Each structure stands twice: as C-alpha cells, then as structure tokens.
Structure 1
C-alpha cells in the first residue's frame, strides 16, 4: 500500500459565509438568525482538505483573488497540509458561497469570481503536477474547459480520475468517457443519465444518498453501502468529505466496496460539526470511528 498517496485536486476555492437560522425567509421577508461564520470552502478546496487530513500528499490547482479572503484561504490550506504552490492569484475577487443552514439542511448561492480563471490554458500549465498524481479529483465549480483539460492530461498519463458532478450541468460524453468514477447525489444522477446510455457509464457511478448511504454498480447489480447512524449537526461539505475519503481509500488499493465504506465514515464524521472544512475528520479519527462501529456491530 502507498503510505502517502499523491492526490491532485483541480477546482474551486471559496470563502463560505454561513448563517444559522430556524427557517428560510420568504420573498421580501427579514428574519433574525442565530449565528454567522466565515469558513473556508469551495468544493475543490473542501475535497483537498478532506484528503490531506486523511494523510494524503495533496496538490491544489486553482485561483484566488488578490484580496483578504484569498490571503486567508491560502494560509488555511497550507495549515491543513495542502500544497498551494499551484494556486495563483488573479485580478478577480475570491469566490464566495453564501450558505443558509436551517433544520440540519442547507441552501447555497455561489459566486465563482477567481474560480472562472481555471481555464484550459491555466490547467495545461500545470500538466506535470497532474501527470505525476495517483488520483485526480474534479468538480464543476470551475469552467468546463478546465475540467476537460485536466481529465485529458490525467488519462494520457494513466491517472485515476474522480468527477464529483456538482453543481450539475450537461456534460459531453467525451468527458465522461475519461472519468473512472462519477460521484453524483441522487438528483445529479437523474440529470446525468438523461441521454446517456450503456453499461460502461453505469459502472462508473457511485451515488451518494445522504442518510441512506452510498450505492454503486457491480456489473449491472446495484450495491448499497448503508450510512452510519450519527447525530447530524450540519451536512455542508459531507459530499466533499466522501469524495476526499474515497480518493484516499482507492489510492491505497482498497476495493470499491471497502473504499465506499471508508468514504461513508469520513462523511458521517464531517456532519457532526458545523462548517465544511472545519468539520472534516483526521485519519486517526476515522480509524477510531470505524473500529468503534465494528465493535458495536459485533456485540
């Protein structure tokens, strides 16, 4: 097994502006919230931090603004063990996500800002980093051309590619053919499958189902991995935590079923704290949690 797998994440880096409230406001309505936080976020950065906390060597490829948010996010990524040497400042503002958390669920508005600069030429300039990775993780909060170019470089160099197709959009078959694992939630899965047929695509799918766990296909048979039973505080970043955990597990040689179990544990622990990156567990915490659950089930 690889002790410290090399994982590269090409994706978004945001500052999350989080408001906690009892209910969502109606049009034109003003409500009093309970709490406000500014937390590091962005699906790309979230997945990078998730993998780094689990012991991987993580390279982040992306863009931030020349502003206070950008400075703070770079410092945070570095403190979490993510290599930021391929994150570049641009003249646009740093990306933001406004998140309203209500009744253990969340609604999100994303302003991409600097993330829009992660284009095909920018990604091409990072070719060597991607080529020397064990696994590449992608999402859809950067321009599709950047995602496509990263996948092309990875496949040319036999690097395993995980695509988390969020926020969902129409994807060309030429991109999906280069992906080894596609990790949508149930809503994203339905939209992805419109107009896409064939056993090969189905066998790329790993569908996250929240409290119902995760499912994937073994040939044509659907296999479901149940979720862990925990007390949920905030679901923000749970999917990103799963993707980071899945990448680390696969890079260490675990079979898909075991890798999904591991990703489930990472996601479960992440929901027990407030915030996306701030709630992500360490390698030691995940191992202790899995061991405890195995003991509990054996009693």
Structure 2
C-alpha cells in the first residue's frame, strides 16, 4: 500500500498580528517566523507522519528555501521526486491574527514549472494505490496526473483548493473530493446556496462518487453511497489554523490507504475522517504548517483521551 502526492512546495513567511489589517492599513507584527509549507508539501508530510509510505512529485528552485524543504521531506521519510528548476522555490506570505485566523498570499515560483509529467513521474503515480492532488500547481498537470492514475487503477483524491473552476473531465476522474464548506458551495453553484447540512451534502453529491466536506471546528460531512454522516469537531485552544486542512487531507488519505479495497465505503470514510479530524485538531494548537502536523502516535493518544 502506498500514496503519492503531486503538488506544491513553499516556504511560508508567517507574521503574527493582533488583527488582520484592513485595506490600506499598516499594523505591527508581534512575531515573525519561516516554516516549510505549500499544500502539497504539507499534505505529503501529514501522510508520512500518519504512518503511510508516500512519494512526492514536486518542483523547487536551487535556492536555500529548497534545501530547507528537502531536509524536512527526508526527515519525514518521504520519497522525493523533485525537479530542480531555474526559478525561486515557491513562497507564501501568511498573516495570523490573535484568534488564529489567517490570510495567505502565495507566489508559485517553481511550482508553476511542474508541467508535462516525465515518464519517471508518471511511473511514480501509476505505482501508487492512492493519488492525492491539490490546486497550487498548473491545472493541466493535475489533470495529467489524474488520468495517469485512473489508467493504472490508482484511487484519485482531489483537494479542490485553492478553489477555481474545474473542468468536467477532471471531475470525471476523481474518486474522492475533499473540500471545505465554502469551496463546496462555490463548486456546486446554486445547488450550494442554502446553508443547511442537508443542502451542502446534496450540493457535493453530484461532483464525485464520494466527498468529505470539512467544517472547521464544527467537524465534517462524509458523503458516500447515497448516505451522509455528520462528524463532530474537537474543542481545542487554536493557535494557528494554517495548514489544518492540509493536515486533514494527508491524514485522511493515509488512513484510507490502510483500509484497502473498502476505503470508499461510508464506514471506511467515516473512520478515516475521524482520524483526520483529530490530526487537524492537534495541528491548530501549534504554530506553522509542517511543524504543527502530528505523528500517528499523537493522533492515537488524542483519540484515546477523547
């Protein structure tokens, strides 16, 4: 059993503030730090720390930031298939306020060069049991990776974030869609306009055979096989929500990878989402994206105490 993540890698520049500035306003930071980040990088580390064998297909520059990111991947036990390109490694400017909310601006940098998968990269995708994708790399690459996975019988999981219009030929290749409630409503258009849980589950049902909708601290919805299950959230003291959704996605996929052929059944998805929800709850109690991601032992201990 194994997972491959095709996606982005960034160095996060994080400023902590009392409140997010309004347009035209300057505020003074109470602290600053840099952390490994990027949706693909966050998710692949979350997969690894949840105990799954995982590979990462990505692009980075040849700068100091790439050295930092590669060291983190090696420490996590990730098999890195990283292109080194003539562009700066991606960066993200993140502002985190006193209530742990954030605003993020991403400069893709080298991530934009991850186009036209090589034969070796396609082999990595085809050899995996599960493929996890996001939308911080060119959409054409996401589509190519999904097609390669489908031809090989690999399960395709798409975290449709940052949100953008998705072509139907990509959605046709997705086995499991993972989105937050705002992304779900935007993808679904008018079907997602209503605010109820029932309306939200009906909004995502036509988009993929199965879906998980994260609801922040309120938990998640699992939609599969014509049924919907609502999962409760965990009450924690949040410090920084950056990367919480990525932690959820990586932990979810790692848990599904352990469940074999039954992984897209409702009960398997519910169990995996419960594991992922615990991982994300731990992550928001710590600063940064990758540094906050818990290990499998930490998740098991958290669930045992709950």
**Distance (whole Å) between structure 2 residues aligned to residue 139 and residue 243 of structure 1:** 10
Written as runs of structure 1 = structure 2, the 5 A alignment for 1:223-262 is 223-253=229-259, 255-262=268-275
**Distance (whole Å) between structure 2 residues aligned to residue 209 and residue 275 of structure 1:** 20
Is 2:40 the partner of 1:44?
Answer: yes
Q: Tell whether the 8 Å contact from 2:94 to 2:103 is kept in structure 1 after alignment.
A: yes
**Distance (whole Å) between structure 2 residues aligned to residue 281 and residue 130 of structure 1:** 26
Written as runs of structure 1 = structure 2, the 5 A alignment for 1:77-226 is 77-84=73-80, 86-102=81-97, 103-119=99-115, 121-122=116-117, 124-194=119-189, 199-201=205-207, 203-226=209-232
Shift of 1:125: 4.2
Decide which moves more: 21-30 or 44-53. Answer: 21-30
**Distance (whole Å) between structure 1 residues aligned to residue 28 and residue 119 of structure 2:** 47
Shift of 1:37: 0.6
Shift of 1:26: 2.9
Pair 1:275–1:129, CA change in 2 (3 A)? same
Q: What is the aligned residue count?
A: 287
Shift of 1:27: 3.2
Who is 2:63 aligned against? 67
**Distance (whole Å) between structure 2 residues aligned to residue 201 and residue 110 of structure 1:** 27
Q: Secondary structure at the match of 1:126?
A: helix
Shift of 1:202: 5.6
**Distance (whole Å) between structure 1 residues aligned to residue 279 and residue 253 of structure 2:** 11
Shift of 1:291: 1.1
* Structure 1 gap ranges (5+): 294-299
Select 1:20's aligned residue among 16, 22, 36: 16
Q: Tell whether the 8 Å contact from 2:108 to 2:136 is kept in structure 1 after alignment.
A: yes
Decide which moves more: 195-204 or 153-162. Answer: 195-204
**Distance (whole Å) between structure 1 residues aligned to residue 61 and residue 150 of structure 2:** 30
* Structure 2 gap ranges (5+): 192-202
Structure 1, residues 235-261: CA drift from partner, whole Å, max 9, x if none?
Answer: 111100110111011111161111111
Shift of 1:221: 3.8
TM-score scaled by structure 1? 0.92
Q: Secondary structure at the match of 2:160?
A: coil
Q: Tell whether the 8 Å contact from 1:207 to 1:215 is kept in structure 2 after alignment.
A: yes
